[in-house]
Each structure stands twice: as C-alpha cells, then as structure tokens.
Amino acid sequence: MSGPLAIAAVSAVLRDLLQTGMTAMKLGDALQGAASGDAVVSVGAPDRVTVQGTSAHSQLNLFLYNVARNPGWANLGLPSRDARGERIDNPVLGLDLYYLLTTYGAVDYDAEVLLGGAMQVLHDTPGLGRDEIRNALAAGTKLPKDIQFCGLADQSEGLRITPLPMSTEEIVRLWSAFQSNYRPSVAYLVSVVLMQSALPTRRPLPVRGRNLYARTFRQPRIDRIENAADPNAAITSGSTVRVYGANLDAPTALLQANGIDLTAGVVSRGPELLRFTLLQPPGPAWPAGLHPGVAGLQLVVPDAMGTPPVAHGAVESNLLPFLIAPTLQAAKNGAAVRVTSDIPIGKDQRVNLLLNEIGAPPERPPYAYSFGAPAGNGVIDPAVETRSLDVPVSGVKTGAYLVRVQVDGVESPLIANANGVYTQPQVTL
C-alpha cells in the first residue's frame, strides 16, 4: 500500500503521462506560439495560470479539484480496534481523485490542439499498471525522493482513468468557484488510490490446530412450570416442581434458574416432563444467590470443545419465568413487625408488608395495612441478603393480623385451617 504522499504521486504520474504522450505525437509542431516546440503541462490551480501575448507558452493544466472516499474500500479492515481499544489493523483508505484538464492557448487554435492531444493520450491509456507508475515516477527528475518512493506502484490495484461527463451547470459552478475566466476543460476520474498507515498493530499467535464438531441439533423447549403437588399453589422452598416441554431428557443438560445451577435437585427426566426440587441435596440446602420473586428457568446442554476440552453452552432452551414465594414467620418487635423468611431476601429487592385483621366484627370491614421495608431491607454491608427483617409499622389498630410479604411483587402464601379459613402466619399488635 502507498502512504500519504500517494495523491501527489498520482498528479506527477498523470503529468508525465500527458507530457510524454503529447511529445510522442509531435504535438508541438502544430502549436503556433513562440515556443511552439514545447507542450507545457502544469499542475496547479486555474486562477494561477496566466497566458498573455504571442511570446508566452501555450499550456495544458492538470488540477485536482475533488477527492472522495471509494465506496468499495470504505469498510475494509474494520473494526480496527478490539474491545480493549488496542489497534489490531490499519484500515486501507481508498480514494477517488477528480481532475480537471484545462488548456490555455497563447494564440488561436493552440488551446484546441492541446485539448485534443491530451484527450487522445488519456483515451489510449485507460489504466496504469505498476510498471507504468514506477517508470513515470522515476522520470520525474524534479520530484522529491519521498514522492518517487511513496509506494504508489506497489498498491494492490492499478489506476483507472475515466472521463467524466459534466453538464453546463456543473461547469459554471466549478469555474465560479475558481474565480477565473472559463477555459476549455474536461474532467477525469482516477481510481483507486490506496493509502495505509504503518502504525504498529497487535497480532494474535497463529492457530496450531483446528477442531471441527458435528452435533445433532435437539433444542430443549420449556412450555409450563408448576407446583407438582397442586398446579394452583405457589412454588415455595419445599415444593417439587414439574416442568413440561420437549426434549427435556438430555442426560447432560444443566437446569438453571437465574443462571444458578439447580441440576442436583433433578428428581426425574423425561422427553416431555422434568421434575426437580429447589432445595439441593445432600443438605438439602437452598441454592446460594437465589431469592424469592420472579426467576427464569432454562435448560443448557453443554458440549465439550477445544484443546483441552472445555464445556460450552452449545444448545439452550427458551427462558421461561416462574414465581418463587417465601414462607415466613412473623412476630411483634417494638414498633416493627419482624418477618423471618425461609428464603434469603436480597438487599436490593422491593419488600412490602401486608396486614389483614382477623376476627373483625360483622358491622365493619376488617382493617388492612401495607408498609414498605426500609431501604436496603436492613442488610448491612458486606452482606447482600437476609432471612430476617424488621418493617416499621404505625397507626395500626390493636388486634390480630394475618401477615404476608410481597417480594418483587410475589406474595408469601397463607395457611388455611380445615374449614378453609386463613389462620397463619399471624401477629398480634
């Protein structure tokens, strides 16, 4: 790839191409100016070219009036940095160069002679390969060495020279921007110039081996989750849970709730039915990090891949939510109600205490109250969870009350007696 001097090198190559081509045509014999043997090719802005009187040279001017990114190379080599911000590649900057070829005649007809000769040269040379570029740069004796050896001849693509049709309106706008008198002109597109920096990049070590694996794709699917003892009952810490779906019998499948492994509690597996307990053997113990509230259940079938083999989650089921309800005990503790849950409650969970009066007289409805737990649920750092929290209460009428808590919207269940009347848990205030 070439460097930042490639644009100047392209102008030098085109100038040499035109100068050499018109000399080979002996175009100077047709010029009528005082220096008729010379076909002068300049590279500069049109407003800097002055031709006056019969003693002046007639000349051809090559002006780079626009540069644009080549769309075919716009996204190559991207992204150039990794997630840590380190450079992993130097993207190629592909450019299209737009040139305006203008003739200036010292006397009549010289401008037309130069314009026809230049267009013929470019028509006969629609592209430049590496050898042509290298020879043209070597012939430019007045070129700085840095431009001669900028690497333009070594880029992966050659240079294509294409005439551009321009409407009268475009020509008028262009020459108005030059703030110069109009001269016979024709536009050309030179594409593509490839520039690339030489900044150091980070390269990974080569791959020593490649592992290919073919597996039958049997994705598990979870359709329904319920309490095995009573589909209408809440799922609590002591519940056995039924999971209905498809392809649930993979022997190596991991059962996860909120990313926490519950596989040790699986009781049975079948293609369409899986049963598990939330309390994990051998304790049984409650899974660390799992809290009451909404949990997402998922089956993950790992696959050992790599050298040495490492388990990957190759096939995963859908994620289906289910509710975990805490079972609690309650007692009065000064101006608060102390709630003790069988499942740890997280520090950042939203907890509300619900009180409903027991044994209210028939002439009025029972009293009912709701109180929010204090910020952080009373958990002191560095702890992140608790099984016991005090919820301050105020303005509560004296009496016995059924106690419930809502943890992230999931309510603890109440216990009914033989007559179907809720009796526990309760507290007397």
User: Three-state DSSP class for 81?
Assistant: strand
Q: What is the pLDDT of residue 36?
A: 46
For the chain, the helix, strand and coil percentages under 3-state DSSP, each to the nearest 5: 20, 40, 45
Per-residue pLDDT of the chain (429 residues), as tens digits, is 678 899 999 999 999 999 888 888 887 777 775 444 566 888 988 888 876 554 467 788 999 999 999 998 988 878 888 888 888 888 899 999 999 999 888 788 888 988 999 999 999 999 998 899 988 888 866 788 888 888 898 888 889 999 999 888 898 899 999 888 888 899 999 999 999 888 888 888 888 888 887 776 788 999 999 999 999 999 999 999 999 999 999 888 899 999 999 999 999 999 999 999 999 998 899 999 999 999 999 999 888 888 888 877 678 899 999 999 999 999 999 999 999 999 999 999 999 999 999 988 989 899 999 999 998 998 988 999 999 999 999 999 999 999 999 999 999 999 999 888 999 999 998
Report the CATH architecture of 328-428: Sandwich (2.60)
Q: What is the pLDDT of residue 140?
A: 66
Angle between the N-to-C axes of helices 110-124 and 6-24, in degrees from 0 to 180, rounded to the nearest 10: 110
Q: Is the CB of residue 389 less than 8 Å from the CB of residue 377?
A: yes
The topology (CATH level 3) of 221-324 is Immunoglobulin-like (2.60.40)
Q: Is the CB of residue 245 less than 8 Å from the CB of residue 318?
A: no
Tell me, yes or no, if the pTM score tops 0.85.
no
The number of angstroms, rounded, from the C-alpha of 419 to the middle of its chain's C-alpha atoms is 61
Q: How far apart are CA 30 and CA 105, in angstroms?
A: 12
Q: What is the pLDDT of residue 104?
A: 87
Map tokens 């106690």 to a residue: 403
List, as one string, the DSSP characters of 109-123.
THHHHHHHHHHHHHH
Map tokens 């780079």 to a residue: 64
Q: How far apart are CA 294 and CA 319, in angstroms?
A: 12
Six-digit token pair at 76?
A: 């190559």
Q: Is the CB of residue 96 less than 8 Å from the CB of residue 68?
A: yes
Residues 6+ apart with CB under 8 A from 357: 366, 367, 368, 397, 399, 400, 401, 402
Q: What is the pLDDT of residue 9?
A: 93
Helix (H) or strand (E) holding 168: helix 168-178
Domains 221-324 and 328-428 share a fold: yes
- Give the residue extent of every domain in the chain: 6-195, 221-324, 328-428
Q: What is the pLDDT of residue 289?
A: 92
